[in-house]
């Protein structure tokens, strides 16, 4: 049954991503807002409520990302990131 082993890691990874994003419904909302689900370490929060994450398992350029404050809705862009970040 060694052919099942890779699939179990995929399902475990999927479960971790769903858990980190706050459950199934919150993950669906995150997919709606960002078109992407990731897991990573929270590195900090700025004064506007944006969360900064990092996961070095992803390749460079995609290993850091921002989850903008939900109060912004769809009206967010990269100019809303403070200079200290």
Tell how far CA 46 is from the center of its chain.
16
Query: What pLDDT, on the 0 to 100 scale, is given for residue 53?
Result: 92
Alpha carbons 47 and 82: distance in angstroms, whole number: 8
Give domain status of residue 85, yes or no: no
Alpha carbons 50 and 45: distance in angstroms, whole number: 6
- Structural domain of residue 70, as residue ranges? 5-80
Query: What pLDDT, on the 0 to 100 scale, is given for residue 16?
Result: 92
Model pTM score: 0.74
pLDDT by 10s per residue, the chain, length 85:
577 788 888 899 899 999 988 999 999 988 888 888 888 999 999 988 899 999 998 888 888 988 888 887 777 777 878 887 7
Q: Which two tokens stand for residue 8?
A: 């179990």
Q: Is 35 left (phi over 0), alpha (psi -120 to 50) or beta?
A: left
Q: Identify any residues that bridge with 31 across adjacent strands, giving them in sequence order.
A: none
* Number of domains into which the chain is organized: 1
Give domain status of residue 51, yes or no: yes
Give domain status of residue 58, yes or no: yes
Nearest to 46 by CA among 26, 68, 77: 68
């Amino acid at each position: 049954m060694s052919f099942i082993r890779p699939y179990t890691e995929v399902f475990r990874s999927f479960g971790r991503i769903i858990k980190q994003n706050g459950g199934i419904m919150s993950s669906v909302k995150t997919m709606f807002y960002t078109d992407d689900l990731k897991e990573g370490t929270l590195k900090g929060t700025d004064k506007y409520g944006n969360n900064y994450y990092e996961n070095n398992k992803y390749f460079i350029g995609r290993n850091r990302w921002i989850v903008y404050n939900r109060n912004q809705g769809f009206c967010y862009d990269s100019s809303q990131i403070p200079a200290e970040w």
